[in-house]
């Protein structure tokens, strides 16, 4: 199922993220603009339901405040000092991209607000040289993605290897400050980052649960 970057009606415009519906039943609405918020939200919600969404989340408009908060997306950062040793990074190649994508999507299906990667999205990471395998002593520990000063993704293939994978990914970061974005209800990731010394620096986005549209009156 494909995302809809611009879902527009006479009442507004939004981006609809639908790729997660086959895996988790969740659709995401990012409202860009609207002249009639209740009507436009209902149009978005009805469309998401029509394509199979069981839970619908929305962000991007102050009128969403009455809805229950599903999660907040936090920005966190950590200073890296000294040499980073241990596991090794191997850039993903065209021939290994499909396996990398499979590992990523299998792991992210149950992670709150994690994006399911399409082939186009994975190819974009490959073109930007952002995707990596993480090995230690010849064994696959996990995978990840890094761009500039930000770790975009981390997946552990070995229980308890999260910190070693993260430190390996940090070695590809430009500068001595590492940034991540994480949903606050992603408890395992929050615990890992806090244990490593990451600190919150701000709230990037708030997702509200609009599955039960309180504005809609038949």
- Reduced to 3 states, what is the DSSP secondary structure of residue 160? coil
* pLDDT reported for residue 1: 75
- Rounded to whole angstroms, how far apart are CA atoms 106 and 78? 28
Q: pLDDT tens-digit profile of 162-204?
A: 999 999 999 899 888 999 999 999 999 999 999 999 999 999 9
C-alpha to C-alpha distance for 169 and 133, rounded to whole angstroms: 9
Task: Quote the pTM value.
Answer: 0.86
**Residues of the chain where predicted confidence (pLDDT) is lower than 70:** 82-85, 215-218
């Amino acid at each position: 199922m494909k995302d809809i970057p611009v879902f527009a009606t006479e009442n507004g415009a939004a981006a609809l993220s639908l790729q997660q519906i086959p895996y988790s039943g969740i659709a995401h609405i990012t409202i860009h603009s609207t002249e009639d918020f209740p009507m436009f939200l209902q149009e978005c919600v009805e469309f998401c339901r029509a394509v199979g969404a069981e839970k619908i989340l929305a962000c991007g408009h102050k009128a969403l405040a009455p809805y229950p908060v599903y999660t907040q997306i936090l920005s966190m950062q950590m200073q890296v000092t000294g040499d980073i040793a241990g596991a090794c990074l191997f850039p993903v190649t065209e021939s290994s991209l499909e396996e990398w994508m499979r590992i990523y999507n299998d792991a992210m299906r149950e992670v709150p607000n994690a994006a399911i990667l399409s082939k186009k999205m994975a190819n974009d990471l490959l073109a930007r040289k952002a995707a990596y395998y993480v090995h230690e002593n010849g064994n696959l520990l996990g995978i990840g993605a890094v761009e500039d000063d930000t770790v975009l993704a981390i997946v552990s293939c070995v229980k308890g290897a999260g910190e070693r994978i993260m430190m390996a990914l940090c070695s590809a970061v430009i500068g001595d400050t590492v940034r991540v974005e994480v949903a606050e209800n992603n408890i395992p990731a929050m615990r890992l980052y806090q244990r490593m010394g990451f600190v919150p620096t701000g709230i990037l986005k708030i997702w509200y649960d609009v599955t039960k549209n309180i504005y809609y009156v038949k």
